Amino acid sequence: MSKSSVAIYPGSFDPFTTGHLNILKKALLVFDTVILGVGVSETKKEMFSPERRVAFISKVVAAEGIDPKRAKAQSFCGLTVGFAQEVNASHIVRGVRNSLDYIYEQQMAFTNAGLNEKIQTMFLPSSQDTIHISSTLIRSILSMNGDLKGLVHPVLAKELTATGA
């Protein structure tokens, strides 16, 4: 019997974008299970509660027809490598949009490897059609009642628009 491969895909996901979905789908081509770790930060100002962000991700996963046993979201506090250990993940998945993302993520990967050398980081490049998307951009558009088409999943756009975020 082969060992199941588990990776975490950590982030704030505030909110979950089509760019995040793109990276999740790529990660599911490599790993049996991807746990989206919704980070809780005391220092970062977040638009949505961790519970709401987990719910957003779960709705998108369901709407995409992705097996919820293979892609699940849960919130976590503390170090990313600690969360990876907690859920028995062997890898941390990180999406990179450009060279600036890569430099930052590389520093984080080195730091995480120093904390736990058994947990590896895998960088996945954004697809060309999602490379410009960030949660910061989405929050800005939301604050000005702009159109979210193509930036977040339609299920999420509908909910964000209906609730006025």
Query: Which of 20, 26, 91, 153 is flagged as catalytic?
Result: 20
Active site residue 44: yes
Cis peptide upstream of residue 68 (ω within 30 degrees of 0): no
- Reference 92, options 49, 121, 115; nearest CA is 121
- Count of C-beta atoms within a 10 Å radius of residue 75: 16
Q: Is 135 a catalytic residue?
A: yes
E strand or H helix at 112: helix 99-115
Cβ-proximal residues to 79 (8 Å cutoff; 6+ apart), any chain: 115
Is 139 among the residues known to form the active site? no
Q: Is 132 one of the annotated active-site residues of the chain?
A: no
**Angle, alpha carbons 8-12-15 (nearest 5°):** 115
Integer angstrom CA distances of residue 15 from 30, 53, 56, 107, 160: 24, 6, 8, 24, 9
44, 45, 69, 118: the catalytic one is 44
Catalytic residue (choose from 25, 70, 97, 139): 97
The catalytically annotated residue of 12, 91, 126, 135 is 135
Any idea which residues carry the catalytic annotation? 20, 44, 97, 135
